[in-house]
Amino acid sequence: MNAPVETTPEQGKLGVIALVGLAAGLLSGIFGVGGGILIVPGLVFFAKMDQRRAHGTSLAAVLPISVSSLITYWAHGHVDWPVALYLAIGAVAGAFLGTKLLKTVKHEILSMGFAALLIVSAVRLYWSTSGSGRDQLILLMCIALIAVGVVTGVLAGLLGVGGGVVMIPAMMVLLGLPNVIAKGTSLAVIIPTAITGTLRNRSASNVDTRAAVIVGVGGILSAVAGGWISSRLSDSLSNALFATLLIVVAGRLVLQESRRRWSKAPIQ
C-alpha cells in the first residue's frame, strides 16, 4: 500500500491563501470591488500575515482580479469610461499618499480604520437606490469625481482595498448611475490605482509577492463567475448581501483587535 501523502504546514498555508483568492474573485465579480475587503482579513486571520504586509499584498492581488471582473462588465456594456477617467486621475494621485502613510501608521489604527470603512459602507448600502443614468458631465462634477478618486487612492494605498466601497456609492449618489454600471466603472478605476499602489508598496517591502500571485490567480478563476451572477441579481438584493458581508467582516476585525489589545494589557 502507498503511504498517505502528508500535507506540510507550508502547503496548508498556501492552500488557505488560494481559497482566499477564490472567495475574493467571486466577491469582486458580484459586487464590483477589488476584493481587498476579503483579502486583507483573510490573510490576517487565516494566513497569519502581519497587518501592514497584508494590506500591501492585498492591493497587489487586487490587480489581476479586477482585470478579470472588468472584462465581464465591459462585455455587457456596463462601464462609463469618461467617469472612470476622472476618478482614476484622482485615485492614482491618492495612491501615492496612501502608500506613504502605510509605512508609518500604527497597526491598531489600520485595523480600526478598515473596520470603520466597512461599517459606513454597509449602512449606506442598506438604504441605497439605483439611478437611471447620468446627465452630461459639467466642470464642477468632474472636480468632484477627481476628489472622490483621491480619497479612493488614499484608502487603496493605506488599507489595501481597491476603493469600490467608496466609488460605487459616490457614483450612484452624485451621478445617479445604475448599480451595475457603477460597479463596472469602479473596476476600471481600481486597475491603475492598484498598479500605482503596488509599485510603491514593493519598494517599501510591504508585499508578499508569492501570496499575491496565488490570491490573484485564484481570484481570476472565480471573478468571471461572479460577474455572471451579478448581472442576474436585483440591485436591492445585491446591496443587502454586500452590506451584510461587510458588517460580518468588520465585526470579526474589531473582535480580533480587541483580543490583541487584551493579550498585551499588563496584569494588575
pLDDT reported for residue 170: 82
How many CB atoms are closer than 10 A to CB 52?
A: 19
pLDDT reported for residue 268: 45
Radius of gyration from C-alpha coordinates of the chain: 18
CB 153 within 8 A of CB 99: no
Task: Label residue 131 exposed, middle or buried (CB < 10 Å: 0-12, 13-18, 19+).
Answer: middle
pLDDT reported for residue 267: 46
Q: What Å distances lie between residue 193 and 43, 97, 227, CA to CA?
A: 21, 12, 21
Q: Three-class SS of residue 45?
A: helix
Nearest to 238 by CA among 163, 164, 141, 144: 164
pLDDT reported for residue 146: 94
Task: Label residue 149 exposed, middle or buried (CB < 10 Å: 0-12, 13-18, 19+).
Answer: buried
Q: What Å distances lie between residue 158 and 4, 52, 150, CA to CA?
A: 44, 9, 12
**Residue in the structure block whose three cell numbers are 461572479:** 226
User: Hey, what amino acid is at 198?
Assistant: T
pLDDT reported for residue 147: 92
Does this model's pTM top 0.75? My answer is no
How many CB atoms are closer than 10 A to CB 209?
A: 11
CB 154 within 8 A of CB 111: no
Q: Three-class SS of residue 238?
A: helix
Question: CA-to-CA distance for 229 and 26, rounded, in angstroms?
Answer: 9
**Residue in the structure block whose three cell numbers are 449602512:** 123
List of E strands, 119-173:
none
pLDDT reported for residue 5: 44
Q: Please list the pLDDT of the chain residue by residue as tens digits (268 residues).
A: 454 545 455 666 788 888 888 988 887 778 766 677 778 888 888 888 887 888 889 888 888 888 888 888 898 898 999 999 999 999 998 888 888 777 777 767 777 777 887 787 777 777 665 566 777 888 999 999 999 999 888 877 777 676 777 788 788 878 888 878 888 999 899 899 889 888 888 888 888 999 999 998 888 888 888 878 877 877 778 778 878 877 887 887 787 677 767 766 554 4
Nearest to 152 by CA among 216, 184, 197: 197
Grid cell, residue 44, equals 490576517
